[in-house]
Structure 1
């Protein structure tokens, strides 16, 4: 009989305050969905093309996006956004180290508003490029810091990765996907409503929706406490304790709260003792190298899944495949709604059914099959109505599958892989890598799908089917299962160099040590907590 110490799980309702705080921060990701829907659809709008393109009766919309050098403007308005996000994510670690998460999010709100004003008010392509780059800088901070906060701050160490309880962490971090899809639905609905206008308002109205996020987020941040872990690392112990109280105090008994606080302090003290410095080079030393590479690899699979191609070019791609502009926009709205359903389905699976690793592998298989189906249909029945319907069906299935599996699970898993003291550096640089790969995809995709270039059409999906197979192999061989583990337990597992196979069942000691320390401070706490569980399996996981 083995005595295993574990902290009791609490419901979403018990953690409603923390969930609300994480939801406020996660709204930052809505910008990503709004912009993706807008920019992906604007390229097919006659009103937009009349200003930034030229008339071409041979095209379904009656306009083409650029003459002379096909695709240059088209590639830049998509790729400059990701380039800006790449640059800001790259410096996110340094910025967070000195200024914290909330200041970074407020700065992003200001940059976001400036970028929107530029894009709405200009008819000059160079100004559009500048606006897209500035918007990318803002989006990089929004995505990076909202996910760091969600996994690391809202439910400190156990709950959006830093802030969420361990058993609810995936659900709270998955709010990223929830807000992205809400943004995509709103963006798709707005662009569908304005697509037939032939004036500037056809694209200015969708771009105007990009003011929603900076407005609500900037106001909501006044209600959000700074990350307890960040404050603790900065030596602001009392402020950190008050921040943790604001996040978790209502959902725990005083004894359970004390245990969580002691475990957090103990974990951070041990990390500080293990490493005297906190800097970007530490990500590539000792056991941190494994954790960094896992984080990078998991974030890279978002691009490897083919998501950026579908998100950025789905509406335009369907028009090139032969759909009318009206039908393409309608199917775009339908696909974003399916994506939203997929997000909620995936959140349920992560909470009640599957671990992170299983979710990711399932997603790689499902996404690969939808991409293969799309490519094969274009190969065997090119130009037919059946092929066109297959493109529509497999695109819809992909949107559901990606959002339910890889889209839901990558951020929770990636943010859990890295250590607390290096999370802003590691996650920031990983997201930066993801944006670079997204930029590369956005820049190169038009060469494959445009009739003026390679004209592969849906056959381009063969590449992404193979890419998903590579993702599946990576998930199976390299990614350990972290479901139910606190961030401190994950630190202990990596420090002990536990293999992928043994990660799920390996017994950890940090919770028991924290409980013993609490018992020393307050005799009788263990009985009050009633969190000792007796089981027969000596390798029982505390998750």
Structure 2
């Protein structure tokens, strides 16, 4: 195929992707949907474990086994230092796992790395299941976190590479839904075992982690590798075979060739723009801006107050709710999170841009967190604790309508295709770094033997959420409806964030293209 034919085929593919409805794209790439759906199921394990361990601190049998007796009122408690350490163990491991995945996936591809990580995790689960001390439990969390970092960074990157334009936001955000499903499963398991008077109350939840590798490893052996990976490796025939598997038997030869041409042209454009494939390249030139956006959007999930308002069973306990009320509310809150994520798919994402959704959601979370803090001044009202608990559930719903979904989607969209995996890894590591800091602070905010701030913590996280809102207003561009090639041009030309939506881009002669704003009366 000549250069001119390649450009024409790529333009034709881009035009078709823009004109297609979501339903038409789904029917045309149903196997791509299936495999993206399946790969993302690995993230259920991370959501399950993180919700499990964070909520074990209010679990009577867990606190008795790994903590110490404080007083008749407080009962058994882990020290704030051990709470922070156990909370952060998997996060620290996941940080290094995500960093490692940037190298491994570039060299070996998503599929082989994912299957290997699942096999390794199957062995590491024995450490947490058999843990006889908090030290052994911490070691198990650290090592298991290596694999969770791989799952969390592979799933959105894979989804963004195997699906057409108007499906990518749904399946990259499906990763977030899998995270919620894992949390919901953990909440249900905890609620069902909270009154069990033995160490099996917390060992059974650990043992259930073996279900996922046993199911996923044999299924993923049949998954196709990303066609983008093959193009970057100079293997166009393998990329074509992968596309044929993703689009199915109903796809025409022209459709496959046009899609392959679009991938090849985008990769060639980025090579021409001197975009490399190393971590260092993520911080060069206009790539630094893309990396910044990915990092802050992912870290914004924590900065919006998720450590406080989302995993809130310990907070519920400290404001006077019983263990039974606490874990029932936790199940309800996680169910509301999943409902909010589905509502986002149906009522929000099809009609509004990424920038508007993110700003509105962050503004809502700021308001709720400050209200929780203000309510804590009413210490003489016995209903304040319940009102604060209800507000955390409302926060959860608003969070999952917005940042909860887009925190996964935007990092997978915003990076250049040659650096996509590494951009996602860096962004997820920004999340892990901020999460580790928050998980160190949060036990001290809540623990009655430390700062004991309870609802006043809402002021702190409301402040961090406000700062993130201000950043997003000035720095977060609109990505909806843009092909990866168009995004390359927009970032290369330095288009301001607030003008991304209104800028016309021609990608035929991308290096010479200058941006011009659309006539808004015609767009």
- Structure 2 length as normaliser, TM-score? 0.91
Q: What's the counterpart of residue 319 of structure 1?
A: 317
Q: What's the counterpart of residue 496 of structure 1?
A: 493
Within a 5 Å distance, the mapping from 1:70-85 to structure 2 comes to: 70-85=79-94
Q: What's the counterpart of residue 24 of structure 1?
A: 38
Superposed CA offset, 1:243-284 (max 9, x none): 122113457544333322211111111212222742121112
Q: Structure 2: which 5+ residue stretches go unaligned?
A: 1-10, 511-517
Superposed CA offset, 1:273-310 (max 9, x none): 22274212111222111111111121121111111333
Distance in 1, matches of 2:109 and 2:307, equals 29
> What SS is found at the alignment partner of 1:91?
helix
Distance in 2, matches of 1:509 and 1:466, equals 41
Instruction: Please say if 1:422 is aligned against 2:399.
Output: no
> Are the aligned partners of 2:290 and 2:415 in contact in 1 as well (CA < 8 Å)?
yes
Superposed CA offset, 1:426-450 (max 9, x none): 2111211210110111112111111
Task: Report deviation, 1:133.
Answer: 0.1
Task: Report deviation, 1:480.
Answer: 0.8
Superposed CA offset, 1:97-118 (max 9, x none): 2222122212321232233211
Distance in 1, matches of 2:430 and 2:521, equals 37
Q: What's the counterpart of residue 199 of structure 1?
A: 198
> What SS is found at the alignment partner of 1:63?
strand
Q: What's the counterpart of residue 373 of structure 2?
A: 375
> What SS is found at the alignment partner of 1:353?
coil
Q: What's the counterpart of residue 134 of structure 1?
A: 143
Q: Select the residue among 64, 79, 84 that pairs with 2:77.
A: 64
Q: Structure 1: which 5+ residue stretches go unaligned?
A: 151-160, 515-535
> Are the aligned partners of 1:356 and 1:483 in contact in 2 as well (CA < 8 Å)?
yes
Superposed CA offset, 1:5-45 (max 9, x none): 72231413443322111110110111122112211222122
Number of aligned residue pairs: 500
Distance in 2, matches of 1:33 and 1:204, equals 17
Q: What's the counterpart of residue 475 of structure 1?
A: 472
Instruction: Please say if 1:118 is aligned against 2:130.
Output: no
Within a 5 Å distance, the mapping from 1:349-498 to structure 2 comes to: 349-379=347-377, 381-382=378-379, 384-498=381-495
Q: What's the counterpart of residue 342 of structure 1?
A: 340
> Are the aligned partners of 2:48 and 2:185 in contact in 1 as well (CA < 8 Å)?
yes
Within a 5 Å distance, the mapping from 1:52-201 to structure 2 comes to: 52-59=66-73, 62-65=75-78, 70-150=79-159, 161-201=160-200
> Are the aligned partners of 1:55 and 1:63 in contact in 2 as well (CA < 8 Å)?
yes
Superposed CA offset, 1:350-375 (max 9, x none): 44211100110111011111111111
Change (3 A) 1:496 1:250: farther
Q: What's the counterpart of residue 243 of structure 1?
A: 242
Distance in 1, matches of 2:324 and 2:66, equals 20
Superposed CA offset, 1:491-537 (max 9, x none): 12212222223211222223x689xxxxxxxxxxxxxxxxxxxxx96
Distance in 1, matches of 2:295 and 2:491, equals 16
CA RMSD, 1 decimal: 2.2
Task: Report deviation, 1:462.
Answer: 0.4
Change (3 A) 1:342 1:276: closer
- Structure 1 length as normaliser, TM-score? 0.88
> What SS is found at the alignment partner of 2:499?
coil
Distance in 1, matches of 2:259 and 2:98, equals 30
